Structure 1
Amino acid sequence: MQRCCARRQRRGQVLTQLLKVDALRTCFATPSGVFPAVDGASFSLPAGETLAIVGESGSGKSVTAMSILGLIPSPPGRVESGRILFKGHDLLSLTEPEMQRIRGNQISMIFQEPMTALNPVFTVGSQIREAILLHQTRDPAEARARAVEMLRLVGIADPDRRYDQFPHQLSGGMRQRVMIAMALSCNPDLLIADEPTTALDVTIQAQILELMRDLQRRFGTAVLLITHDLGVVAEMADQVIVMYAGRVVERAAVAELFDRPLHPYTVGLLRAMPVLNDRAGRLIPIEGTVPPPDRLPPGCRFAPRCAHVREICTRKDPALSDQGAGHEVACWLHLDYADMGNPS
């Protein structure tokens, strides 16, 4: 966390907003009606910084990323309202051919499961080369050389040989490195990383995170990190937004969020983190589950799981309010933080 704060201080206060999402609402049609998976999400990401989106499965993290990339399957889904400004241009106003020129070039994505994201019938090198040929050069030899160089940059030994191998011939960690090489092959301004270390063992996770940090420093790429792992957030992020049932419920700098969590849901997520020196290995779970979009409770969506629920919580959904130090929270209890306790 000190690393993140120091980096922000070095950059100063004037930061260019590369991405700005404003009141994004993405809905899906079901047999019982049309319901929001993302409901009014707003946030911004400066150039070169890392913003983490945190929350349980079903909170709307991946749908937010797919909305930015224009990859929401329609039907049954569609972006109903809001704006997604990338370099000042609203991505929602672009045609599909215009989005194709941005997707994989200026905005790239590392998908959650590389074995399903990579095409099993093509070599890994040809899949990296395809993006380079589409966006960077028409010369096959130049594209191959660039693909081999990217494999080398992500730490894959003997990249010339690995270029001609198929995904099933590589380990899980190596496939994830291939995904990173593919995502960064066109020097994107924005990299969206959706659970980039899921299903990897702890040692490989650490290597992948260190690789992402190194490549971010090298290329100056902004990163939108989607994760449920707060340990990864502490290691990687500058800013954090916490999502629950499609809504942003808390937003803060990473050190501020860990030092002073305000929303009961954020407090619960932090309490559920494993503690290295806790010999009993005790975790404090959050009771219940995230409600599906077609069965959202009235009022605050976290109220049925909240130990601090009040009568107003069951009637009215709170808006984000400024708590100082750039820290925002959507909770009727935000003035009673001392009564909520700290997860330490």
Structure 2
Amino acid sequence: MAKIAVYGAGSWGTALAVSMGKAGHEVALVGRKLSEMDLMEQRRENRPYLPGVVLPPTVRPTGDAGVLEEAEMLVLSVPSHSVRETAQKIRAYLQPGTIVVNTAKGLEEGSHKRLSQVLTEELPHHPIVVLSGPSHAEEVGKDMPTTVVVASQNSQAAEAVQDMLMTPKFRVYTNPDTIGVELGGAFKNIIALCAGFADGLGFGDNTKAALMTRGIAEITRLGAAMGGNPLTFAGLAGVGDLIVTCTSRHSRNHRAGVALGEGKPLEQVLKEVGMVVEGVRTTRVAYELSRQYEISMPITEQAYQVLFQGADPRAAVSALMMRGKKHEIEEVALIAMGQGSYQENGPDGHGE
């Protein structure tokens, strides 16, 4: 069986380590703080992030990054804003050709680059694979059936990761559309925040269904403009991840949105959640990208107004509901009338 290293001992890194360890792989779970990793080794449990999940004997918690030298595959499980810095920190340890699997779902602020692009810049001698899909750590750690998708420009690397991650309870698909897989995984967090806003305001299932449906429409518009395959957004990294993140009690983005909808300030909400809420940073990046590509993203725009401009969530909902009349499937309607193509997205080329 393979020697695998997981860098990042939060809930998701730990859950993946447990899953691969149960499959018989030798897994080094690498964390930043030596004292915390020593305690995890003694207790055989990551109590702060994944309580109740026992680490199998094949998983070795450690604070020593030197173990990365032995890894055939490295799973990088750090927040999106830490990916570049982490890659710079660990690249000296990696053997040439070691496959690097990124699990963070976000985009780099400032550059607007996808995380696989960041990793390719920092780790040019390593195949980069992206892992995404509907997969809460709390459920993977407890062996609940889960399906995910891996994507890479290197098909052999993607298939190798598929082989190493696949278990009877953890099914892995491959997809050649790295752009779509990454963007779907990143942008769905924005819609999950908005679903939380709605719940915090006391709205019902109708509202959430509308947000999710129209949310995937605007995600697909921007994703396609950026080079993603529209069909990818109908798959695990798109609709699948959107459903689980908008509806689950495990979702940090949804929890944060609920608190914001109840009127709590953003700074307090982030402190109370206690873990990274990727949707907050991603909202800013997606809003900037929508303006760059001239793609209408009304839900994202309202989320941006609430998060960064002090807008009231209830007023944001009213702004969405009172917009001008539209076709539901604008691209199809335009093609039927002989006026456009998918990429044009709307009468003015901007979608909704």
Per the normalisation by structure 2, the TM-score is 0.28
Per the normalisation by structure 1, the TM-score is 0.28
Richer in helix (by share):
2
- Greater RCO, CA 8 A, separation 6+: 1
